[in-house]
Amino acid sequence: MNTFFQEYAAAFSRFDVDAVNDLWAYPAHIVGRGKRAALDAEQFRLNTAGLCAFYKYQGMAKATKRVLDFTPLTPSTACVRTADQILDAEGQTIIAWEHVYLLSDTDDGIKAVTALPDNELEAWRARGTPMGAW
C-alpha cells in the first residue's frame, strides 16, 4: 500500500493527470458530505486536471501521503486511511489532512475505486478556498 500511495503522491507532485488516472478503476466514486459522484475516466481526468491546477495555484511543489491504516474488507477490497500533506517549494506544509480510500485488487492490479474526501474538503474550507464548498 505504501508503494501505491507514494506513486499517487508523486503523480500529483508532477501534476501528471494521466499517471493519477492510471491508479484508478472506473467508474471512480467520490463520496463526501452526503454527496456522491460516479465519474467515468474522462470525467475523472477533468476532475484531476482541476485538482492539479488548484494545487499549483495554492503553491504546491510536492504532495505526500503516508498510510495510517489498512483494513481488509473482503479478499479483494480494502479501506485505507492516509495522512496527506501539500508542501511548498521550501518544504513547508501548506495544508494537511487525513484521507480515506477504498482500493480493489482488479485484473489490472491494485486500483483506487472510491475516495472519501471529507477531511480534505474541510481543511480547504477552513483556509477559505473554493474547493471546500463541494
Tens of pLDDT, residue by residue over 58-86, are 999 999 999 999 999 999 999 999 999 99
Q: Which three cell numbers stand for residue 45?
A: 481526468
Mean pLDDT, residues 36-43 taken together: 97
Mean pLDDT, residues 110-124 taken together: 96
pLDDT for the residue 1: 84
In this structure, the strands spanning 93-106 and 35-39 are unpaired
**Total Cβ atoms within 10 A of residue 45:** 17
Segment holding 64, helix H or strand E = strand 62-74
Mean pLDDT, residues 97-122 taken together: 97
Q: Which of 59, 61, 47 is nearest to 9 (CA)?
A: 61
Examine residue 117 and say whether the peptide bond preceding it is cis (omega within 30 degrees of 0).
no
From CA 40, how far away is CA 55, in angstroms rounded?
22
pTM here is: 0.93
**Total Cβ atoms within 10 A of residue 88:** 13
Q: Is residue 134 over pLDDT 70?
A: no
List alpha helices for the chain, DSSP H: 2-13, 17-22, 41-57, 118-126
Q: Which of 115, 84, 108, 111 is nearest to 23 (CA)?
A: 111
Q: Is residue 31 over pLDDT 70?
A: yes
